[in-house]
Chains A and B, each alone.
Chain A
Amino acid sequence: MTPRTRSRLGIAALIPLGGLLVASVAGLYPFGGFNGFYGTRYNHVTVEQRHIPSAVTAVVFDYRGLDTMGEELILLAAVAGIALLLRQLRDEGETGSHDARPGRPDLPPSEGIQTAGIVLLGFGFVYGWYIVVFGHLSPGGGFQGGAAIASALIMLYVAGSHKILESLAPRAIFESVEAIAVAGYICTGLSGLIMNMRFMENVLPLGQRGHLLSGGMIPLLNVLVGISVATGFVLVAQEFVHQAVTVREET
């Protein structure tokens, strides 16, 4: 099938589907008009019950904290699966970078990339932690901040080399830290079980709305999720980099 035939077939299929899409979107509620029960209820009760202004974070980490625990375990399983899949087999050896002659050191990246990388790494790291820590006061939270921190740490590879990434973000330490953070999340839920006989029940003082230490367990859960997401993503990138750059089939 030639590309032109593919294009024509694609357009011929898209026209009725596009018509259906437009018809369905036109039949939606106007933007802002919501007819569900829980959405409007959460908007009303979040500030009094949890003392934080961000209803999204309250739903994710408090009202539906159990689902977030499931998401944490999904991330852990995905990272473990990638580490298992990209492990070094018996007939693969570790060599230097493939664009370096054997016996010579790797080429450093250009100075522009190094400078941009240092700036992005510093700024991204601090800004990522800001997004994590202030997750209950402004949009953000553990996942978003963790992904931002991981993107900043990957600058170690982009603007440095894979050796710098391996030495400053060692896999053994990051694996342990991620496991401890996920276990910490579960233990925080268990503390609710121990003290109040309900899993994930709030046991910390709620504080005052707008302050950094408000919302009970929500800031703690935010930080734990941020740590585990950041280390998880860096581990995934490390596995890919290790496999793509250093591992070779021994012939």
Chain B
Amino acid sequence: MLALLHTLLLALVAVAGWAVVRERNPVRQTLVLGFYAIVLAVQFMMVQAPDVALSQITAGGALVPLMLLLTLSKTRLRKPPEMHARGPNHR
């Protein structure tokens, strides 16, 4: 029974990893990455490592998606270099 649960959870980890790779939109990929982090944390709890699971939940669920989304927002809002009368390299 326990072996079956272990196997199911490992399969879920594999599926979640595949989903992270297959999602191509960066914003959605961030959320799928958060889901993958939570699944990994459950996996860590399954093998009786609660300290690691706590770290994984906070870092992978809250801090890494925050940093990723802020970076995406910053890089998307940068305006392309404007064209001046004397050419694109003149400021």
Write the residues of chain A forming the contact surface with B, with a CB cutoff of 8 angstroms: 7, 10, 31, 56, 98, 131, 139-141, 143-144, 147-148, 150-151, 154, 233, 236-237, 240-241, 243-245, 249, 251
Contact = CB atoms under 8 A, between A and B. Distances in A.
Contacts of A143: 51, 55
A98 B77 contact: yes
A103 B77 CA distance: 20
Given A154-B62, A244-B74, A236 B55 contact: no
B44 to A, nearest CB: 11
Interface of B: 6, 21-22, 47, 50-51, 54-55, 58-59, 62-63, 66-67, 70-71, 73-74, 77-79, 82
A140 B55 CA distance: 9
A50 to B, nearest CB: 17
Given A148-B54, A150-B58, 19 more contacts: A7-B22, A31-B47, A139-B51, A140-B50, A147-B54, A147-B63, A151-B58, A151-B62, A154-B62, A154-B66, A236-B67, A237-B66, A240-B67, A241-B70, A243-B70, A244-B70, A244-B71, A244-B74, A245-B70
A148 B54 CA distance: 8
Kindly name the residue among B51, B54, B59, B73 whose own CB sees the greatest number of chain A CB atoms within 10 A: B51
10 contacts: A7-B22, A10-B21, A31-B6, A139-B50, A141-B51, A147-B58, A151-B62, A154-B63, A240-B71, A245-B70
B63 A151 contact: yes
Nearest to A128: B58
A245 B73 CA distance: 8
Contacts of B21: 10
Chain B interface helix/strand/loop/mixed: helix
Contacts of B77: 98
A140 B53 CA distance: 9
A162 B50 CA distance: 33
A234 to B, nearest CB: 10
B78 A249 contact: yes
Contacts of B22: 7
B54 A150 contact: no
Nearest to A143: B55
B74 A243 contact: yes
A-B pairs, 6 with minimum CB distance = A139-B50, A147-B58, A144-B54, A151-B62, A244-B74, A244-B70
Contacts of B62: 147, 151, 154
Given A144-B55, A144-B58, A147-B55, A233 B70 contact: no
Contacts of A244: 70-71, 73-74
Nearest to B10: A25
A140 B54 contact: yes
A240 B59 contact: no
B3 to A, nearest CB: 9
A10 B20 CA distance: 14
